[in-house]
Amino acid sequence: MRVVIASEIRLLGECVAHSLMTRDSALDVLLTGTIADLSDLMARGLRFDVAILDLTQGVDLDAVRAFHRRYPDLALLALGLEEQEQAVVAHGSAGFGCYVRREDGIERLYATVRDAIAGRMTCSPEIAGSIMRALFRAPGSASADPGHGRNATLTTREEEVARHVADALSNKEIALLLDLSESTVKHHVHSILSKLELPTRRQLMRRTRMFDMETEPTRASS
């Protein structure tokens, strides 16, 4: 079996590769950096059974989706995915066929690699139900529209929190700045991600910054 690991953190990638090859000496594991680097390898004719993509530093789901459309036969495994309904559905829609949580170990990863090659996906009954609901959601409904989250309405406080997240502040730093408890800030961030249909904090940062750039000319002319 040929496995490729895409991680921007070399040490993490090397540790995962070493652990997998120690677990199964028949595995041929290659390490690369980003999804763009992986695409270059594929363009050069290299082929793999599974690609493990490190999500711990965030991932551009649009780039993953474009890659999956180009190489649909390559099984994509999400490493470090938070097992939450929206995150699993969003990453599944982008092309990931299976995932391993941050709290899982090497045995779970190895089993998931085998499942990926066999075309199986293992998850909790709750997540399986969420995936089925997403698959059978009415095509014309607002919740099925990928751009629906763009027009979601945030409260004034949520907008404040979102802008501080865009400035790369932690929940603790935002709490001190807004005179709130850290748990309240965490609740606001979760609510914002849910309303905007974003799976990660990093994507919220990108969305907020893009919105600011789009509205800047309007602010300047007003």
- At residue 216, the pLDDT reads 45
pLDDT < 50 regions, the chain: 136-151, 212-222
pLDDT of residue 133: 59
The pLDDT value recorded for residue 63 is 92
- Residue 132's pLDDT is 54
Of the candidates 75, 73, 72, the one whose C-alpha atom is nearest the C-alpha of residue 51 is: 75
Nearby residues of 208 by Cβ (< 8 Å), 6 or more positions away: 162, 163, 165, 166
Helix, strand and coil percent figures for the chain, each rounded to 5: 60, 10, 30
Nearest to 49 by CA among 108, 7, 131, 112: 112
pLDDT digits (tens, 9 = 90+) for 26-58: 999 999 999 999 999 999 999 999 999 999 888
Dist. CA 6–CA 38, nearest whole Å: 7
Q: What's the per-residue H, E or C state across 15-46?
A: HHHHHHHHHCCCCEEEEECCHHHHHHHHHCCC
Q: Specify the pTM.
A: 0.60
Residue 109 CB coordination number (10 Å): 19
The string of pLDDT tens digits covering residues 203-212 is 787 766 655 4
Q: What is the mean pLDDT of the chain?
A: 81
pLDDT in tens, 99-110: 999 999 999 999
